[in-house]
Amino acid sequence: MDLRQVLLLARITVGNPKDGATTVLSYQFKRQELVEMAILVAVIGVIAATVESALLPRTATGMFATELSSPMFGTALQLTVMAIMAIAIFHGGRVFGGNGTLDGAILLVIWLQFVNFLLQLAGFFLMLALAVPFNLVMIVSAVISTWLLVNFIAVLHGFQSLGTVFGGVIGLYVAVSVVVAVLLSIFGLVPGGT
């Protein structure tokens, strides 16, 4: 699969998340390949956040400030969040009768992060070219990302009700936020702290 095909699949995914997720899940990867893809996506995400912060100066607070405090730490943080999400999606779906696999959950979380990176890139250019407000770009990106995740989980586990999955995603966001905040506190890296 070349870059053009990957970008085409990303466009399909945003337009029809279920088809995008089905296509992504049709590819078979070894666990080591999934780990390598996760690292690559995390590094790309940290680079993008660092460049965006340098070009669009604003006060970095909370998780954003913590992530930018060190590229290595930011990469580790992104990998940790992705791992927690994949495990929660897998086990949470199984609890409610889903039939998804852990590798499938990992792959879809990686794909979601990559598509989010492309959305971030598009938003960045909208802010520069059309002076679209940062907050508006962030809200639109968050809505699209949540919609993608809901559909990805539905496809992964074979769920039919997107409303029920949406409720689960809200729970997932809360759970991941709490776990990450606890881990940051344990290691003395409270967001926004010194």
Please report the DSSP string for 56-84 in residue order: S-----HHHHHHHT-HHHHHHHHHHHHHH
**Position 174 in a domain:** yes
Confidence of residue 193 (pLDDT cuts 50, 70, 90): very low
Give the model confidence (pLDDT) of 19-75 as tens digits: 999 999 999 999 999 999 999 999 998 888 888 777 766 645 454 555 556 788 889
Query: For residue 194, what pLDDT is reported?
Result: 43
**Position 191 in a domain:** no
Give the model confidence (pLDDT) of 79-92 as tens digits: 998 999 999 999 99
What's the rounded Cα separation, in Å, for the pair 91 and 19? 23
- Total domain count for the chain? 1
* Alpha-carbon distance values, 7 to 11, 23, 118 (Å): 6, 13, 9
**Position 98 in a domain:** yes
Give the model confidence (pLDDT) of 93-143 as tens digits: 999 999 999 999 999 999 999 999 999 889 888 888 888 787 888 899 999
What's the rounded Cα separation, in Å, for the pair 42 and 113? 8
Cβ atoms 116, 141 nearer than 8 A: yes
**Position 193 in a domain:** no
Query: For residue 190, what pLDDT is reported?
Result: 59
What SS3 class is residue 28?
coil
Task: Name the phi and psi angles at 57, rounded to 5.
Answer: -60, 135
Give the model confidence (pLDDT) of 147-164 as tens digits: 999 999 999 999 999 999
pTM of the model: 0.86
Domain span at residue 111? 3-186
Tell me which long-range contacts 39-43 makes (C-beta under 8 A, separation of at least 24): 39/75, 39/79, 41/78, 41/82, 41/110, 41/113, 41/114, 41/117, 42/75, 42/78, 42/79, 42/82, 42/113, 43/75
